[in-house]
Amino acid sequence: MQQIPPSNLLIENGRLIDPSQKLDRVGRLLISDGLISAVDPSDGDLPASIQRIDASNQIVAPGLVDLGVEMREPGFEEDETIRSGGLAALAGGYTSVLCTSNTSPCVDSPGAVEFVRQKAAKAAGAKVHVIGCVSKGGEGEQMAELGLLAEAGAVAFSDTPKSMPNDALLKRALEYCRMFNLPIIDRPEVPDLANNGVMHDGQTALVLGLKGLPTEAEDLAVARDVRLAEATEGRLHVGPVSTMGAVDMIRRVKARGIQVSASVCPHNLCLSDEELRCFDARFKVHPPLRSQRHVETLRHAVIDGTIDAIQSGHMPRSREKKMNDLDLSPFGAATLETTLSTIITYLINQRSMDWMTAIDRLSTAPAKIAGVQGGTLKVSSAADVVVIDPSSRWTVDGNQFVSRCNSSTLDGCQLDGIVRLTIVDGEIRHDNS
């Protein structure tokens, strides 16, 4: 492949927001050789050859980082590929994503890690970091070769979207991972209690006669997870979470100084289970849309930092799979391209969250949890940057998505905020000017 030398970029007049250095002011950002080379450089310090970008009335922030995107390749390319998912991520303002291990074959061997890394390198999308399986075959029985996966480049371990069914295995894995200082990510759900549910177990499910996913299925799993994190002093990330009980538990263990992080999906911050009243499978997502009380609690928790990060929860599923009835349709929706706008529309523009907090939850915090580059505009760090036009409005149309999945809980909704540029290692990879 032909290497294009990274150029010098000067992004001018934009509002720079960087939670990693508490920076929020109009200024200019100089990018050289793939790195952030200066904030507010003087004219004399500018290189001779330079591409200037006017970002007046726009937000310039570290590119978004996602803690768990399903890329579906290998095995389910009808839903998404590493290339289409990586490009969808760019369109959504993401510069780095962690990709989940639930492919076929799953990512439980160094070769599988290498496959994803090579595919991602060719795709020129967002940076793709690999999550390895915790268990062999993702079956929740025996520990996978976590050390060899780490050596091959895995940055975290998870059997997501399955919760870890085996308490002893989770405990052992949390202990064992301490020597690599890598996190275990658990999507909390007790399978026996969740048994075949299709939506939040509440009043709406009762009226509609649909099988419910009870909140206690998540609450009990979170309780177990955080207790094991405390016992092992391992690095644990729980997420996405969706219940008041989960928030309550996480808040309490954090107050005791236990090292646990948590994330939430955008749909759980803006939509309630009432959406299912139309019986449309595009609202069959996981975690399920909960009742309004949970939505409100989650909003407060992500604003006050009890929940550290917002993750897209991108679970792409092909049109033919989603066209089914609510029992047969799989959980999932394309969210990479709507997450940022969802947060702008439902949180920032409702004045419940400020930009600094939003960028922290979408970029700085997840980068830190995953231990990957990004989430900062500090000098000498990788130039992973997003330029956002916060005031432009657009209408969500799943058929226009870069993702192979066209199913969206927000189809037809008007959202605020457009990703204008996504810059990865100093290279403009997505340009919507």
Partner 1 sequence: MTSATAHNGTEPTIVFPKQWKRRHLLDLESLTAEEITILLDVAQQLKEITQNCRRKVPLLTGKTCANLFFENSTRTRNSFSLAAKRLGADTVEFNSSGSSVAKGETFVDTAKTIEAMGVDWVVTRHGTPGTPHLLARELGCSVLNAGDGPHDHPTQGLLDMLTVRQHRGSIAGLTVALVGDIAHSRTARSNIWGLSKLGAHVIICGPPTLVSPRWTELGFEVAHHLDDILPRCDVLNLLRIQFERQRARPFPSVHEYAALYAMNGERMRKAKDDILIMAPGPINRGVEITPEVADGPHSVILEQVNNGIAVRMAALWLLAGANDRN
Give the whole-angstrom CA distance, residue 129 versus residue 115.
12
- Number of residues located near partner 1, criterion CB under 8 A: 19
**Between residues 78 and 145, which has the closer beta carbon with respect to partner 1?**
78
Residue 206 near partner 1 by CB under 8 A = yes
CA torsion, ordered 312, 72, 129, 164, to nearest 10 deg: 80
Is residue 292 close enough to count as binding partner 1 by CB under 8 A?
no
Helix (H), strand (E), coil (C) string for the chain: CCCCCCCCEEEEEEEEEEHHHCEEEEEEEEEECCEEEEECCCHHHCCCCCEEEECCCCEEEECEEEEEECCCCCCCCCCCCHHHHHHHHHHCCEEEEEECCCCCCCCCCHHHHHHHHHHHHHHCCCEEEEEECCEHHHCCCCECCHHHHHHHCCCEECCCCCCCCCHHHHHHHHHHHCCCCCCEEECCCCHHHHCCCCEECCHHHHHHCCCEECHHHHHHHHHHHHHHHHHHCCCEEECCCCCHHHHHHHHHHHHCCCCEEEEECCHHHHCCHHHHHHCCHHHCCCCCCCCHHHHHHHHHHHHHCCCCEECCCCCCCCHHHHCCCCCCCCCCCCCCCCHHHHHHHHHHCCCCCCHHHHHHHHHHHHHHHHCCCCCCCCCCCECCEEEEEEEEEEECCHHHCCCCCCCCCCCCCEEEEEEEEEEECCEEEEECC
Contact letters for partner 1, residues 272-291 (x by CB under 8 A): ------xxx-----------
Contacting range for partner 1; rule: CB under 8 A; set: 15-23, 207-215, 267-275, 336-344: 207-215
CB of 163 to partner 1, least distance (A): 19
Q: Which is nearer to partner 1, 209 or 412 (CB)?
A: 209
Minimum distance between the CB of residue 197 and partner 1, rounded to whole angstroms?
Answer: 10
The residue with tokens 């591409």 is 51
Residue 234 CB, shortest distance to partner 1, in Å, is: 34
**Site residues (CB under 8 A) for partner 1, limited to 320-339:** 320, 323-328
Q: Which is nearer to partner 1, 232 or 407 (CB)?
A: 407
> What is the nearest approach in angstroms of partner 1 to the Cβ of residue 102?
24
Rule CB under 8 A: choose which of 38, 169, 208, 413 binds partner 1: 208
Q: In the bound complex, what is the minimum distance in angstroms from residue 395's beta carbon to partner 1?
A: 20
Lookup: tokens for 260: 């646990």
Of 261 and 329, CB closest to partner 1: 329
Task: Name which of 252 and 277 has its Cβ closer to partner 1.
Answer: 277
x-marked contacts with partner 1 along 174-203 as a string, rule CB under 8 A: ---------------------xx-----xx
- Position 50 contacts partner 1 (CB under 8 A): no
Q: Which is nearer to partner 1, 79 or 337 (CB)?
A: 79
The smaller minimum CB distance to partner 1, of residues 208 and 258, is found at 208
Question: Tell me, what amino acid is at 253?
Answer: V
**Residue 231 or 328: which CB sits closer to partner 1?**
328
What's the min distance (Å) between Cβ of 219 and partner 1? 18
**Complex with partner 1: residue 35 or 208, whichever CB lies closer:** 208
Applying CB under 8 A, which of residues 50, 121, 207, 231 lies at the interface with partner 1?
207
Residues from 209 through 228 that contact partner 1 (CB under 8 A): 209-210
- Which positions from 28 to 47 touch partner 1 by CB under 8 A, shown as an x/- string? --------------------
* Parallel, antiparallel or unpaired: strands 309-310 and 385-395: unpaired
Q: Residue 280 or 425: which CB sits closer to partner 1?
A: 280
- The binding track of 67-106 with respect to partner 1, each residue x by CB under 8 A or -, is ----------------------------------------
Cβ closest to partner 1, residue 380 vs residue 399: 399
Q: Which sign does the torsion angle of CA 354, 259, 271, 62 carry?
A: positive
What lies within 8 Å, CB to CB, of 302 at 6+ separation is 264, 269, 310, 353, 361
Contact residues: partner 1, CB under 8 A: 195-196, 202-203, 206-210, 278-280, 320, 323-328
